[in-house]
Structure 1
Amino acid sequence: MKYIRALFSGFLVWLSISISFFILGKIPILKDSFLTQAGIVMLLTIFYAIAVAKFYYRKKSNIKGLKLGILMSGTALLLDTFITVPFVEIPNGRNYQSFFYSPVLWLLVFINIMSVYLYWRNTKNAYK
């Protein structure tokens, strides 16, 4: 199993989602509507997760999709703990509790895991 590649995949998903929120926060029509931004990012997360899963599975690997999705999401959550919350959330008046209790965060985690799992399940014969 290629853990470094899986962790890097999680970094790519985290980076893509972070950049998406940053860009959407700068668009005048969307900057005041977190739920609209979150909805757009949730849709984008499906594409990010699939793209990163394709990247991961280019090198043949026997890791199951659910495990890869969990590793990727865990990596992203770890990066949120050490980067997003202290450097983005806290300066904007929020805290760890408000960030990690947000249902949007856990929906994004679920969407990422399920997207990777479904991609793997639908293509697993190609990677045996």
Structure 2
Amino acid sequence: MKNLNLKRVAIAGFITYAIGVAAFLTSFFVPVMSNPELQANFVLAFAIIPASIIGASFYLKKDFQTKGLLVGIGMFIITMLLDAIITVPVFVIPHGGDFVSFFTDPGFWLIALL
């Protein structure tokens, strides 16, 4: 097993994050449910699976021989950091939320486990 390429893991995590945020925000412009936040969480829950596959595919396209679990954990850490640096200050706090409510929300952890 070769070492984990941290630069590629970071890029793969960013790709996953960008697709997830784009899906989440776009869902607000297509009202299907009466609760737009619940709708956005459903969309994110479905979008995160292909987003993770795309991110992992980016990492693995150079034929790196590594454990997929390590890549997944690395991508999750990167997306959590990006959530803390970008998502919470830009999208959550202006709407009355905070870091604690965002990171202790059971929906966040359910989506993370997907």
Q: Same fold (TM over 0.5)?
A: yes
- CA–CA separation in structure 2 for the residues paired with 1:31 and 1:8: 35
Identify which of 44, 48, 62 aligns with 1:45. Answer: 48
Q: Which residue of the partner structure matches residue 54 of structure 1?
A: 57
Cα 1:30/1:12, change in 2 over 3 Å:
farther
Q: TM-score, normalised by structure 1?
A: 0.80
Paired residues of 1:16 and 1:48 also in contact (CA < 8 A):
yes
Q: TM-score, normalised by structure 2?
A: 0.89
Paired residues of 1:24 and 1:30 also in contact (CA < 8 A):
no
- CA–CA separation in structure 2 for the residues paired with 1:53 and 1:81: 22
Deviation at 1:15, TM superposition (A): 0.8
* SS of alignment partner, residue 26 of structure 1: coil
Say how many residue pairs are matched: 111
Amino acid at match of 2:100: Q
CA-to-aligned-CA distance 1:66-103 (integer Å, 9 cap, x gap): 11001001000001111110111000111111100111
Structure 2 gaps, min length 5? none
Q: Which has the higher helix share?
A: 1
The runs of 4+ residues in structure 1 deviating greater than 3 Å are none
